[in-house]
Chains A and B, each alone.
Chain A
Amino acid sequence: MIIPILKRITWALLLLAVQVLILNHVHPWGYGAPLLCTLVVITLPMGTSRSAALLWGFCIGLIADIFAGTAGISSAALTFTALVQPPILAFMAPRDSDEELHPSFSTMGRWNYFQFLAVLLLLHHIVYFALEGFSYFHFTDIVVSMLVSYISSLMLIVLVEHVRNPQK
């Protein structure tokens, strides 16, 4: 019980460190940075209690916010992502899958998992940039920022997932 949680906390801290120390300084063509932390919420196993998922999302978001100076934005967006992750996972997981399925390329199949990542990341980015752009002056800037960040996050996360869980 306690070992998987400790593992997950280590994993979350590692991703947060990469996000804060490296990715927050990377702005492809001056637009939004990739949001890697989302991966912790995306890979929550099937059967995680919904309240626990929400708390994971909120805490990781809050830490990311404090270090990036975006108070409230990441925490709100990640809490939302944690709310929609279980139903989307249940919908997209293979029929015959394990009850405690850990979403990854090897457990869900390459194409299936990629779709799962793409959908959840898109929802997360829409909420994140909608909040960031509250009363923003340049609507097109926000949309371009969102798309650039979305594509770079997706590529990065697919890469990380391939390294973490190589396909047989």
Chain B
Amino acid sequence: MHDFIERITAYIHWALFLLLEVFSGLLLFKYNNYQGSIWFTQANTIAAYVHEWEAKALAYLRMPAENAELVQRNVLLQHETDSLRNLLAEALKDSSVTEKKQAEVLRDMKLIPAHIVDNSVRNRDNLLVINAGSNAGVEPEMGVVSGTGVVGIVSAVTPHYSLVISILNSHSSISCRLRRTDYFGYLKWKGGNTLRAYMEDVPRHAQIKVGDIVETSGFSNVFPAGIFLGKVAKIKNSSDGLAYELEILLGTDMSNLRHVNVISNQNKEELDSLRLR
């Protein structure tokens, strides 16, 4: 009996090894479906806090250069306000029309500003963490944009942070269209170069030119229509030969992003319920 127990304990590490590997495997696969537990991602509070602290430290180091830039910008803007004030004084006589139009476009949209706390670009499934969470009104499935175009879609939120599936993620698929001709397709990233993505399912009879602008289609109601995605760089045949596959040069360089905005579409629920009918 003693001998038996000794023999078992001599092999117990193999059982432990299997257990730990199975657990890692579960994490790996669950995470790849990216709806998995928030606790094992960078968006868990401790990890996000460390990354935020790190981002702040880095931002502090860059301050001198940014300050110089801001001063320049300030002078420029002062000039601009001055000239605009003059123009405005002239235009005020008839401004009610433009104001109304702008209010109409922005009525359903709310922009929530956020900083990027953590960002990756070298994996196959890249994710970002931003410092706005459910307390700021962010919800899963909301779109995230920067000044240069689409960044990604919110996947999970905690009170102060959100996990965003970057467009540089093999699971990301964004409904898009060509601005000039209105043909639509899906934007996918296939790994490798962080500035190249592919627009799939473009019909063969579509007329496409290199340099055509690709923008969001607005079908998915995650993003409003017309947000810049990139430009057509190459036109290729899809693997089955039935459609075109366009290589897109993305407008947003994901590797040096800092500030983003989350788009909150207040009509989304209404639209979704309509679709279910």
Contact = CB atoms under 8 A, between A and B. Distances in A.
The judgment on whether A and B are partners is yes
Interface string A109-152: 00000000000000000000001111011100100000000000
Contacts of A162: none
B47 A136 contact: no
A20 B27 contact: no
B190 interface: yes
Interface string A74-111: 01100110010000000000000000000000000000
Contacts of A27: 122
A40 interface: no
Contacts of B118: 69
Given A50-B13, A136-B191, A76 B41 contact: no
B173 to A, nearest CB: 15
A61 B20 CA distance: 11
B50 A20 contact: yes
B164 to A, nearest CB: 11
A21 B118 CA distance: 11
B27 A71 contact: yes
Interface residues of B, number: 33
Nearest to A76: B24
A67 interface: yes
B44 A66 contact: yes
Contacts, number: 91
Contacts of A32: 122
A54 B17 contact: yes
Contact of A80 (B13, B21, B124): B21
Interface in B1-60: 12-13, 16-17, 20-21, 23-31, 36, 40-42, 44, 47, 50-51, 54
Contacts of A134: 28
Contacts of A161: none
Given A20-B50, A58-B20, A69 B120 contact: yes
Given A66-B41, A67-B51, A71-B28, A54 B20 contact: yes
B192 interface: yes
Interface string B212-224: 0000000000000
A27 B194 CA distance: 14
B127 interface: yes
A58 B51 CA distance: 22
B81 interface: no
**Cβ-closest 4 pairs across A and B:** A72-B28, A72-B27, A76-B24, A50-B13
Interface of A: 20-21, 27, 30-33, 49-51, 53-55, 57-58, 61-62, 65-73, 75-76, 79-80, 83, 131-134, 136-138, 141
